[in-house]
Amino acid sequence: MSAEIVTTIAHLRELVAAARRQGRSVACVPTMGALHAGHGALIDGARAAADVVVVTIFVNPIQFDRPDDYRLYARQLDADREFCARRGVDLIFAPSAAEMYPQPTVTFVEALELERHLCGAGRPGHFRGVATVVAKLFHIVQPDTAWFGEKDAQQLAIVRQMVRDLNFPVEIVSVATVREPDGLALSSRNQRLAPAERRAAPILFRALTEGQRLIAGGERQAPAVKAAMLRILEREPAARVEYLEVVDARMQPVDRIPADVRLAAAVWFGSTRLIDNLLCRIDAE
């Protein structure tokens, strides 16, 4: 089997159970499709770690706060299948919304504290939708490991917290953000940038890099770091900042920087919202 597309939960379970009976290990890479080299890094990691690699492709309606974002989200299953086949993926689980939500779900998984800030503040219900669909996918695929990108740092923190708090029998593995040569983090949403917006977008990474440089140089006041990053972003008229924060491992904004922090930002370029983040290690000074 090579990048076989499976659309029903029952069929996917059957194939995974058969692999399990042969003693094969299973890795899951949950995605919303429109696969790029960032997903490729997740798949490569999963491929090296497990006997069976399952990529899930599902644009999850309940995590979108804006209908147009859901509607416009890139869908390209044929290209995604080729992408997966080249990388040795065994199974692509690509269910319909009706297969995943035959009735509107009334059960939700929430990591309350971690949802409060950053993307959670601007996208109400987003992380509840993410945690809920990840729980569903874990129950459907029942993988040994699941692979997530560090670009979505808050999502990663919430999934880790959910697995720990609810004792999911799955190990979460994270993979470093993959970037364009100019620093722009790979994202399916980059496709939507107009040429001028695409040229402007690397300013986000440059601002984060400047914040990281200041902290590495000894700056310990978050407001000073944020102000410096903001000055860089304000130089770019195409960029509109949604948030810019210095947060701890639990995604809570900090004022002083006593230990490792993450610089996290969401910036709009036209009608496209991009996020990015950088970890700043204090013990690495």
Residues of the shown chain interacting with a second copy in the complex, contacts defined by CB under 8 A: 9, 13, 103, 105-114, 131-132, 135-136, 139-140, 142, 161-162, 164-169
Give me the catalytic one of 11, 36, 39, 117: 39
Q: How far apart, in whole angstroms, are the C-alpha atoms of residue 125 and residue 170? A: 24
Q: Using the minimum distance from each CB to a second copy, give the nearer residue, 110 or 219.
A: 110
Q: Using alpha carbons only, give the angle 106, 155, 213 rounded to the nearest 5 degrees.
A: 160
Per-residue DSSP letter, 250: T
Kindly state the smallest distance separating residue 23's Cβ from a second copy, in Å. Answer: 9
Kindly state the smallest distance separating residue 31's Cβ from a second copy, in Å. Answer: 18
* Residue 39 is a catalytic residue: yes
Q: Using the minimum distance from each CB to a second copy, give the nearer residue, 10 or 284.
A: 10
Q: Using the minimum distance from each CB to a second copy, give the nearer residue, 35 or 170.
A: 170
Contact criterion met (CB below 8 Å) for 251 and 269? no
Kindly state the smallest distance separating residue 92's Cβ from a second copy, in Å. Answer: 18
44 burial type by CB count under 10 A (0-12 exposed, 13-18 middle, 19+ buried)? middle
Q: Using the minimum distance from each CB to a second copy, give the nearer residue, 164 or 240.
A: 164
Q: Using the minimum distance from each CB to a second copy, give the nearer residue, 113 or 234.
A: 113
Q: How many residues does the chain have?
A: 285
Contact criterion met (CB below 8 Å) for 52 and 11? no
Kindly state the smallest distance separating residue 96's Cβ from a second copy, in Å. Answer: 15
Kindly state the smallest distance separating residue 162's Cβ from a second copy, in Å. Answer: 5
- Residue 28: closest CA among 92, 101, 96: 92
Element (H, E) at 273: strand 272-280
Q: How far apart, in whole angstroms, are the C-alpha atoms of residue 200 and residue 234? A: 12
Q: What is the CA radius of gyration of the chain?
A: 19
Active site residues: 39
